[in-house]
């Protein structure tokens, strides 16, 4: 069985108590903190920036996975790296120079990844696989938590899995396949069967009365 990682999205946490919300979800068994950055330009919502990332950094040793839903991208990369991000992903259509942005992320000591909206083709991966540590498939349109999983994403996940396996069989290395949007205990097994190994879950964790129970339900579904 692959290594599965659960990455609760802070988007659904209580913004008045972010440090505590980070600690609680990691104590409850989560692996990664997913940090959604929205700019009211690339997506129709506005969330948090590098200062908030820096503020939560001392509250956990778990990796912080920064999902940039912003345009332009580049100026934020050094700022988030400095603020303690471990991974930085961005949407290829939001960057004029995808190869440059990916290199910039790695040069700043972070893992780099591309994010694909439901209708964004995977061919953006074609010439940059050597610069990629993570592929993030959006299973909702970005901008809001609590939306329902778009079923067609399963085909996209399978296609991304094939690309990753083909690449790593030939060149080695490790590329994570993360899925973001509408992930719950009752669909996570199917998403894993399609090839995902890293699962973002915002509302399914933070809107649950007990984070541990919610995360354990997902792990049970993945194991079963
Ligand atoms: C959506 C964000 C997601 C979101 C997921 O634009 O990128 O990370 O918080 O929330 P749920 O799990 O509630 O769909
Ligand atoms: Zn996200």
Are 177 and 160 contacting, i.e. CB atoms less than 8 angstroms apart? yes
- Residue 80 pLDDT exceeds 80: yes
Q: What is the pLDDT of residues 101-124, one digit of tens each?
A: 999 999 999 999 999 999 999 999
- CA of 9 relative to ligand 2 center, distance in Å: 7
Q: Is 36 annotated as a binding residue?
A: yes
Q: What is the pLDDT of residues 168-213, one digit of tens each?
A: 999 999 999 999 999 999 999 999 999 999 999 999 999 999 999 9
Which of helix, strand or coil describes residue 216?
helix
Q: Which ligand is nearest to the CA of 214?
A: 1
The residue behind tokens 């790695």 is: 106
b/e per residue, 7-40, with b = 16+ CB within 10 A? bbbbbbbeeeebeebbebbbebbbbbbbbbbbbe
Spatial separation of the C-alpha atoms in residues 131 and 162, rounded to whole Å: 17
Ligand 1: which atom is nearest the Cα of residue 184? 12
- Domain borders along the chain are 5-223
DSSP letter assigned to residue 41: S
Q: Is 180 annotated as a binding residue?
A: yes
Q: What is the pLDDT of residues 34-58, one digit of tens each?
A: 999 999 999 999 999 999 999 999 9
Q: What is the pLDDT of residue 72?
A: 98
> 5-223 in CATH: which number?
3.20.20.70
Q: Is this prediction's pTM over 0.95? A: yes
Report the alpha-carbon distance of residue 121 to residue 3 in Å, rounded.
26
List the beta bridge partners of residue 46.
39
Q: Which atom of ligand 1 is nearest to the CA of 43?
A: 6
């Amino acid at each position: 069985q692959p290594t599965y990682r659960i990455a609760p999205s802070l988007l659904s946490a209580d913004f008045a108590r972010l440090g505590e919300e980070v600690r609680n979800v990691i104590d409850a068994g989560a692996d990664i903190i997913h940090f959604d950055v929205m700019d009211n330009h690339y997506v129709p919502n506005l969330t948090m920036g590098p200062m908030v990332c820096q503020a939560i950094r001392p509250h956990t040793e778990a990796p912080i996975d920064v999902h940039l839903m912003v345009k332009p991208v580049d100026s934020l990369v050094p700022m988030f790296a400095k603020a303690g991000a471990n991974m930085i992903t961005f949407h290829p259509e939001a960057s004029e120079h995808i190869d440059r942005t990916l290199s910039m992320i790695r040069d700043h000591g972070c893992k780099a990844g591309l994010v694909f909206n439901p209708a964004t083709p995977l061919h953006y991966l074609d010439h940059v696989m050597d610069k990629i540590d993570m592929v993030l498939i959006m299973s909702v349109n970005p901008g809001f938590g609590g939306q329902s999983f778009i079923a067609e994403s399963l085909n996209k996940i399978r296609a991304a899995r094939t690309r990753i396996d083909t690449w790593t069989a030939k060149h080695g290395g490790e590329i994570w396949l993360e899925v973001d949007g509408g992930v719950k205990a009752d669909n996570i097994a199917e998403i894993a069967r399609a090839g995902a190994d890293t699962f973002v879950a915002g509302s399914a964790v933070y809107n649950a009365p007990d984070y541990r129970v919610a995360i354990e339900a997902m792990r049970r579904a993945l194991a079963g």
